[in-house]
Amino acid sequence: MRIGLWVGVPLLWAALLVLGDLWLFGTPAHPVFLRIEIELAKTLSAAGMFAAALSFRRGDYLRRAWILSAMCMVFLLLRDVFLIPWFEKLALPIDTIRGMLVVLANASLVWGTFLLARAWKVAGLELPGTRASRHLVFAAAVVWTLLIAGPAIVSNFQTLLRGDPEGLVGMASSIGDVAALILIAPLLFTALALRGGSLSLPWWLLTASMVGWLFYDATLEMLPYLGASPHAVRLTSEFFRALGCLFGMSAGLAQTRVVRAAGRPSG
């Protein structure tokens, strides 16, 4: 299996994003370029994960896990549809609809990632390291995630206390982010439990995808406090969003290759 391809494509995509952004920044084409890139990245991520799901038989454990992960991107794409200015003219609670779609996306991601992260248990594998070391790594993931996403939860809670219902949607979304990102540690342990090789590759790529999303949230929360310009914050966050999406695509396609090579076993 060409590991370099699965890793290289996301890195190349993110690099081209940076080059295109720097080239077009300040021109009318810049926002169009960014919007097209974002929607393509989400679509490719969903397609890769759906491919992984369809490589398993109906009813297989991993088929359900990959479908749920892919649905995260589907919900986000639906949310982006409501960014079209035409919808603002309709007598609909557009902001609430967008917020609920983000909540559904996060819920789908958390559930799917949880199922993928416990694949080691379903397969009867032993996790590497001692129980204490695993708990330490998990605790570190929890602390790091709360440091990054915690302020958004507090901010949305304050918005809710002011009587704005949008705060509830934002808080639920932020809690979903925290829950999903905490699962980075179990994903990493699952990759290690598979002892390397092609079988572990999808889980390494999934871990890389979640790390990309972790840094996406981190840049949005931290860079403004460090005095970064709005453009620097946007470009850096989009770089990590691209990595999160494209590593998710690679993980799904790598899983598809593994299943086909094994002759479509039950998962």
Domain residue ranges of the chain, discontinuous segments joined by +: 3-261
Q: Output the average pLDDT for the chain.
A: 85
pLDDT in tens, 69-79: 999 999 999 99
Q: Are 102 and 169 in contact (CB under 8 A)?
A: yes
Mean pLDDT in residue range 219-238 = 90
The encoded tokens of residue 259 equal 């299943």
Contact (CB, 8 A) for 237 and 229: no
DSSP 29-88: HHHHHHHHHHHHHHHHHHHHHHHHHHTSPTT-HHHHHHHHHHHHHHHHHHHHHTTSGGGG
Residue 175 pLDDT: 78
What is the C-alpha separation between 132 and 38, in angstroms, rounded? 40
Angle between helix 230-261 and 3-24 (nearest 10): 160
Alpha-carbon distance of 221 to 234, in angstroms, equals: 11
The pLDDT assigned to 74 comes to: 97
| 233 pLDDT above the threshold of 90 | yes
Confidence (pLDDT) at 128: 67
Q: Of the given ranges (14-18, 82-86, 88-92, 193-197), which has the lowest mean pLDDT?
A: 193-197
What mean pLDDT do residues 142-146 have?
A: 80
Residue 5 has a pLDDT of 86
Task: Say which residue, 253 or 187, is predicted with more confidence.
Answer: 253
Q: Is the pLDDT of residue 194 over 80?
A: no
Q: What is the DSSP letter of 196?
A: S
**What is d(CA 1, CA 5) in angstroms, rounded to the nearest whole number?**
9
Which residue type, as a one-letter code, is found at position 131? R
152 CB-near residues (< 8 Å, 6+ apart):
170, 174, 177, 217, 221
With cut-offs at 50, 70 and 90, classify the pLDDT of residue 267: very low
Report pLDDT for 228.
Answer: 92
Cβ-proximal residues to 134 (8 Å cutoff; 6+ apart), any chain: 127, 185, 189
Specify whether the backbone of 189 is left (phi greater than 0), alpha (psi in -120 to 50) or beta: alpha
Q: Is the pLDDT of residue 151 over 70?
A: yes
Query: pLDDT at residue 176 above 80?
Result: no
**pTM across the whole model:** 0.86
Token code pair at residue 239: 């770089």
Radius of gyration (C-alpha) of the chain in whole angstroms: 19
Tell me the CATH architecture of domain 3-261.
Answer: Up-down Bundle (1.20)
Instruction: Tokens for 141, please give them.
Output: 């993931």
Residue 207 half-sphere exposure, CB side, CA atoms within 13 Å?
A: 16
pLDDT at position 71? 97
Q: What is the mean pLDDT of residues 11-40?
A: 96
Taking the C-alpha atoms of residue 96 and residue 90, their distance in angstroms, rounded to an integer, is 13
Asked if residue 177 has pLDDT above 80, the reply is no
